[in-house]
A = this chain, B = another copy of it.
Amino acid sequence: MPMSNEKYTEEQVKLARYAKALSHPVRVQIMEILASQSCCYSGDIADDLPIARSTLSQHLNELKDAGLIQGEFTPPKIKYCIRREGWDEAKHLLSQFLLMK
């Protein structure tokens, strides 16, 4: 047992959180869709995906909670985009991690 009060480092926790956000194929696909065009309306994403809209909404929320995407309300639709800060941090942490060996 390590002596630290915390079980894991902040980086380990963050890395795991980003990895978890990407741990379902549909969320990988959502990120790919958002990357391929600057932004995208929720409905347009739904048309490309084999899941119910309510289920998509949950996946979008997970990506948002992880800080990887952001949604802008432009009535009556919601425009989703990749969130730079989160995406860049995920990139940085994962790249570092993958380079280690």
Contacts and interface: CB of A to CB of B under 8 A. Distances in A.
A28 interface: yes
Interface in A85-100: 87, 90-91, 94-95, 97-98, 100
Contacts of A78: none
Query: A-side binding surface: helix, strand, loop or mixed?
Result: helix
A12 B35 contact: no
A29 to B, nearest CB: 6
Interface residues of A, number: 38
A23 B16 contact: yes
B23 A23 contact: yes
A22 B19 contact: yes
Contact of A23 (B1, B19, B50, B98): B19
